[in-house]
Structure 1
Amino acid sequence: MRLIAAVALALVTAAAALAESRLETLDTGEKSRGWEAVGRLDMGGTGFCTGALIAPDLVLTAAHCLYDKTSGARHDLGAITFLAGWRHGRAEAYRAVRRAVAHPDYVFQSETGPLRVKNDVALLELARPIRNTTVIPFATGRRPGPGARIGVVSYARDRAEAPAMQEVCAVEAEQSGVLVMDCEVDFGASGAPVFSFGPEGRRIVSVVSAKAEMAGRKVALGTALEGPLALLQAELAAGRGHGMEESAPRVRRLGAGERSDDLGAKFVTPE
């Protein structure tokens, strides 16, 4: 219950952040300038997630985006397309995915809880790097602490044709690698980059894994990046990853009456 107490202590800070928060659709060239490296990940017509370039050939997203939410089977990589800066039917660049690696401790499960959120991060290696002067990969940064001001850029069910930015929202609490944020997310926002804003510029500090309700309030959940991202980069450098030819993923389903978490939250995956 420590996290619930931490959230309660952060309510004053969160209320101030929410008062300043707004959701702005990046639906024009002017508004979207500088955000073109955020893109839509299309899953062969079965849905979409959000992803962001952190290198010319690497897209950061949520691990659960690699799996069919009904069957638990991995999506065919050949059906996944990254649409950089997708806006009203056009993208700055279109790329197929050559290889993907999810956190090795990630376990796909139908019920979303802290164990899933903590490791819910993946890297996609594109078939060809994006060499476009208008699509600049984002740097990544250190985990923000409670009260830190952040922003989220995402596609979602009601804004599939252009991304939207929420600035400013805030980190309410962190426990066991799970960030609790008062940011507004919806279906399709899975894998969306969470940004910090500082003297060094915009930096991705988390990815959206799930939305939840806590104490009657809507929150977003994400993983810290420092450890998981370094591990994923090492996996790719070692030649590991998959083209979806591996054996079926580990699936864990909860039995009747079993607790899925200790956060006091009801989870919903925004995919």
Structure 2
Amino acid sequence: MLGRCFAGILCCIVATASVAEDAVMLSLETADASRGWEGVGRLDIVGKGFCTGALVDVDQVLTAAHCLYRDDGQLVEISQIQFLAGLRGGQARAYRGVKRAVTHPDYVHRSGSNVGREVSHDLALLELDQPIRNSRIRPFETDARPGRGDEVGVVSYGKDRADNPTLQETCEVLGVRLGVLVMTCSVDFGSSGSPVFSVKNGVARIVSVVSSMAELDERKVSLGTSLARPLAELKAEFATVAPARVGGDQRFIEAGDRADTGAKFLRP
């Protein structure tokens, strides 16, 4: 029932929110444009495509948990994942493999209509095979979740922009419910796991991770996982060296599936 409830809340939020015009997408194609964002990188996954991730420590990348699963619900082998830090113009500032991947302990892949619960725990930490110690590639700090009406930004890779990240400096949080942020940020396929930033006093901190796209009445919004409690829970799980778990036979919301409310959810 949570999925239907969440979709209904989404309908209400989208229908009633007064949204300021969002900033355009800026391609970070040059060294100057990408300065400070080198800790964001592309996660290449053999046989699946790519997601986006961000350094939160010299050897840890934060991304979306669903990026670690294939369409059949099986986990991707970590040997098939590579993090390309600061990828720009097809060249990364650092290339790293992954030696451990841990999803949030309450994340269950293919959770059917339970959209809210899946998105609210859609977090994973990847341990790199070697730390990235480079003064130009700095891990990002994290911060408490933003509230309705707050401005955030997102750096992501995506369809038709796989070799250069893009920055949307300003988008709006339409609402926060059940650990899920509903935002006007523009994302596309490949943007899963993208860091959502809040900038305070000139410092960008990660406040969410892109989980899904949602479409309602031909209007696109994005859904992000709140870091308020889930990140601390994920870090505790990570400290136990627990592996990411296989998702079982729960149903996954595929592109084009529709809840009864008319909201359509897509994985970017």
Could you tell me the TM-score, scaled by structure 2's length? 0.90
- Label 1:180 to 1:264 Cα distance change in 2 as closer, same or farther (>3 A): farther
SS at match of 2:127: strand
**Unaligned segments of structure 2, at least 5 residues:** 1-7
Residues 13-33 of structure 1, C-alpha deviations (whole Å, 9 max, x = no match): x1x232xx1101101111111
Equivalents in 2 of 1:252, 1:45: separation in Å? Answer: 22
- Label 1:87 to 1:254 Cα distance change in 2 as closer, same or farther (>3 A): closer
The equivalent position to 1:119 in structure 2, one of 121, 127, 144, is 121
Specify the code of the residue in structure 2 equivalent to 1:199. N
Deviation at 1:263, TM superposition (A): 6.9
Percent of aligned pairs with the same residue?
A: 52
1:175-190 matched pairs, under 5 angstroms: 175-190=177-192
Match of 2:266 in 1: 268
Specify the code of the residue in structure 1 equivalent to 2:86. G
The equivalent position to 1:59 in structure 2, one of 58, 61, 72, is 61
1:157-176 matched pairs, under 5 angstroms: 157-176=159-178
**Unaligned segments of structure 1, at least 5 residues:** none
Does residue 250 in structure 1 map to residue 256 in structure 2? Answer: no
Match of 1:75 in 2: 76
The equivalent position to 1:17 in structure 2, one of 16, 21, 37, is 21
Equivalents in 2 of 1:59, 1:158: separation in Å? Answer: 23
Residues 205-256 of structure 1, C-alpha deviations (whole Å, 9 max, x = no match): 00000101123310000110121110111112223235xxx6x42331289x
Residues 42-75 of structure 1, C-alpha deviations (whole Å, 9 max, x = no match): 0025300000000101100000000012x11111
Equivalents in 2 of 1:52, 1:261: separation in Å? Answer: 31
Deviation at 1:264, TM superposition (A): 5.1
Match of 1:132 in 2: 134
RMSD: 2.1
Equivalents in 1 of 2:260, 2:150: separation in Å? Answer: 23
Specify the code of the residue in structure 1 equivalent to 2:221. V
Match of 2:49 in 1: 47
- Label 1:2 to 1:45 Cα distance change in 2 as closer, same or farther (>3 A): closer
1:209-248 matched pairs, under 5 angstroms: 209-242=211-244, 248=246
Equivalents in 2 of 1:260, 1:232: separation in Å? Answer: 30
Equivalents in 2 of 1:162, 1:260: separation in Å? Answer: 32
Match of 1:203 in 2: 205
Ranges of 4+ aligned residues in structure 1 off by more than 4 Å? 259-264
- Label 1:89 to 1:171 Cα distance change in 2 as closer, same or farther (>3 A): same
Match of 1:148 in 2: 150
For the 8 Å contact 2:10–2:182, the answer to whether it is kept is no
SS at match of 2:52: strand
- Label 1:138 to 1:9 Cα distance change in 2 as closer, same or farther (>3 A): same
Deviation at 1:4, TM superposition (A): 2.9
Equivalents in 1 of 2:261, 2:224: separation in Å? Answer: 13
Q: How many residues align?
A: 257
Equivalents in 1 of 2:118, 2:162: separation in Å? Answer: 25
Equivalents in 2 of 1:77, 1:114: separation in Å? Answer: 27
Equivalents in 2 of 1:143, 1:31: separation in Å? Answer: 26
For the 8 Å contact 1:36–1:85, the answer to whether it is kept is yes
| Mean Cα deviation higher: 34-43 or 105-114 | 105-114
Does residue 8 in structure 1 map to residue 15 in structure 2? Answer: yes
Could you tell me the TM-score, scaled by structure 1's length? 0.89
SS at match of 1:97: strand
Equivalents in 2 of 1:235, 1:43: separation in Å? Answer: 23
Deviation at 1:8, TM superposition (A): 2.8
Specify the code of the residue in structure 1 equivalent to 2:225. T
